[in-house]
Amino acid sequence: MAKITSEMKQLAEKAKVFTVGTATRNGEPNVIPMTFAKVLSDDEVLLMNNFMKKTIENIAANPRVAISVWKQGDSEGYQFKGNARIETSGKVFDDGVNWVRTASPTLNPKAAIIVKVDSIYSITPGPDSGKKVG
């Protein structure tokens, strides 16, 4: 199990956008920017589905997901990889809906996507870029 460290969590909290990569069962890639995304625990990332179409279809067919997050300015960042599950009820979903609606009352989230992180890589430019760090 990979562990999302406190340093990684702090960086993610300040990030304005997470990029989320998925693929079809046949490997056709899809990448989207997400603003309603956050670290949920030491090994989970939450993505709230407000407008997803291809991403949800891809996760249903192929649960592998890659999420990149970075700090503006110096480009320090991480890529989290893992399997995603889709939830449309329960505490995580309800808390996510409240989070989205507090920030943007006109949005109507359809699902919470929870990514169970199993590996973490540095995406910071330099000699360690691409190195597995968790």
> What secondary structure does DSSP assign to 15-76, as a single string?
-S-EEEEEE-TT--EEEEEESSEEE-SSSEEEEEESS-SHHHHHHHH--EEEEEEE-TTT--
Q: Is the pTM of this model over 0.85?
A: yes
The Cα–Cα gap between 114 and 116 comes to 6
Domain ranges of the chain: 6-122
The per-residue pLDDT of the chain, averaged, comes to 95
pLDDT digits (tens, 9 = 90+) for 81-104: 999 999 999 999 999 999 999 999
pLDDT digits (tens, 9 = 90+) for 8-38: 999 999 999 999 999 999 999 999 999 999 9
User: What's the fold here for domain 6-122?
Assistant: Pnp Oxidase; Chain A (2.30.110)
